[in-house]
Structure 1
Amino acid sequence: MKLNHECVRKCLLVLEENIGVTNAVDSNKLINTLDYDKDEAFYALQKLSEEGFIIGGPTVLYTIGEAQKHCAPITGITWKGHEYLDTIRDDKIWKKAKSATSSLKSVSLSVMKDVASHFLTEYIKGNLM
């Protein structure tokens, strides 16, 4: 399955708004509220968890001949997740990063972060002059 970067970004933005020090987010409810295909949202959250961007989240449990989706609560965004989100948060920066990578067949999260970071740095430099 292809990772949807828009869905990844939206997941992190929604999680940031809804996770508190004492409250978690039900990953199944989150998947159902996002404006993406449920499998696509599940996959985005699963990859965010695997990459260490979030704590908790959905996993696939395999039994003999069968796979079952398991939606554990998401209890937080990690430092790494916040760093990524802070780089891609601004809509202008995000649009530029997406445009710069649109001709490529695939772009990893780290490459997207680097591209967005470049545009963010240039924007900051331009506003300091």
Structure 2
Amino acid sequence: MIKNWAIIRDILIRLEATSTPNTALDANQFPEYPEQEVAYNMRLLSEAGYIKANILESKSGDGRIAAALARSLTNSGHELLDTIRNDTVWAKVQDTFKSKGMDMTFDLVIMLGKKIAENFLLS
């Protein structure tokens, strides 16, 4: 499995858009992506402290995630989303990583996103 930034951004955006603070998103509510990829990226976001989630590992030995529920954004999750929500900033972040041939990490995405947003604001 890979860290999929399109899925990560979509999870964050959809969590923020929920109608109540306690509305959970299930990994199967993202029909445009394979459920296991969504579940895996929910687990990554949870482990990194960007969302609160319940992740249930399969006990059948197949290596799958049996269930993944994203429950809410943490303050750090809001900060990450604030950095990458804007489509123009997000496109520039992706283009920069691609042109430099570097892997996108949470810390680098936040740092670069803030710098790009700052440049937009000051120009």
TM-score range, shorter chain: 0.7 to 0.9
Q: How does 1:1-129 map to 2 (within 5 A)?
A: 1-18=1-18, 20-21=20-21, 23-30=22-29, 33-62=30-59, 65-103=61-99, 104-126=101-123
Where do 5+ consecutive residues of structure 2 fail to align?
Answer: none
Segments of 4+ in structure 1 off by > 6 A? none
Where do 5+ consecutive residues of structure 1 fail to align?
Answer: none
The TM-score normalised by the length of structure 2 is 0.85
Secondary structure of the equivalent of 1:70? strand
Q: Tell me the CA shift for residue 39 of structure 1.
A: 2.0
Q: % of aligned pairs identical?
A: 25
The TM-score normalised by the length of structure 1 is 0.82
Alignment: residue pair count: 122
Tell me which structure has the larger Cα radius of gyration. Answer: 1
Contact 2:15 2:25 in 1 (8 A): no
The separation in 2 between residues aligned to 1:51 and 1:19, in whole angstroms, is 24
